[in-house]
Amino acid sequence: MAEEEAKQREVEVVKSGELLFCGGTNWDAMGRKKDATSSANLVSPTRLRPLLGVNICFVASGC
């Protein structure tokens, strides 16, 4: 029984990946009427340089 549990632990590998971000980045201006071109938004998925090479296992998001 202990051998089976040890094998299961070896098989369980946490999968991770890279974090991509897109959307609003100017948090102070979110939801305000303003020229859309003047706000810094990422309209396509973007890799965040400080997180390159960091394995991400969990991401939380809220609205």
- Summary mean pLDDT of the chain: 75
Strand-pair partners of 41: 24
pLDDT tens across 23-41, in order? 877 777 777 776 655 567 7
Band of pLDDT at residue 42, cut at 50, 70 and 90: confident
Q: List Cβ<8 Å contacts ≥24 apart for 56-60.
A: 56/16, 56/17, 56/18, 56/19, 57/14, 57/15, 57/16, 59/19
pLDDT at 43: 79
Distance separating alpha carbons of residues 6 and 10, to the nearest angstrom: 6
14 pLDDT above the threshold of 70: no
Q: Which residues pair with 17 in a beta bridge?
A: 56
pLDDT at residue 11 in the model: 62
Can you give the pLDDT at residue 10? Answer: 63
